[in-house]
């Protein structure tokens, strides 16, 4: 975890929204709430990526950003 990302909130703070997952839906929701000035915590199981980590090759990007877990693809 990067130091600049370590915000702290009290567990009983009713003004913080927790978003589970930073995929297409969660990432969009977190951004929209943050743009409106709402404190948002995003919990993500995946790794932290920087801009330089991303591949422009489709299959490599899919493998990098998708959770390729047999439990999620085969039932």
Cα separation, 71 vs 75, in Å, equals: 6
Cα separation, 28 vs 33, in Å, equals: 9
Q: What is the pLDDT of residues 56-68, one digit of tens each?
A: 898 888 877 776 6
Judge contact between 34 and 40, C-beta under 8 A: yes
In the chain, domain spans: 10-73
Q: What is the pLDDT of residues 29-50, one digit of tens each?
A: 999 999 999 999 999 887 777 8
Judge contact between 27 and 18, C-beta under 8 A: no
Q: What is the pLDDT of residues 7-17, one digit of tens each?
A: 788 888 888 99
Cα separation, 63 vs 44, in Å, equals: 17
């Amino acid at each position: 975890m990067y130091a600049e990302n370590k915000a702290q909130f009290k567990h009983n703070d009713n003004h913080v929204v927790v978003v589970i997952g930073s995929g297409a839906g969660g990432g969009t929701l977190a951004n929209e709430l943050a743009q409106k000035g709402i404190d948002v915590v995003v919990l993500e199981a995946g790794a932290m990526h920087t801009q330089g980590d991303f591949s422009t090759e489709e299959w490599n990007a899919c493998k990098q950003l998708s959770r390729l877990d047999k439990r999620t693809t085969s039932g």
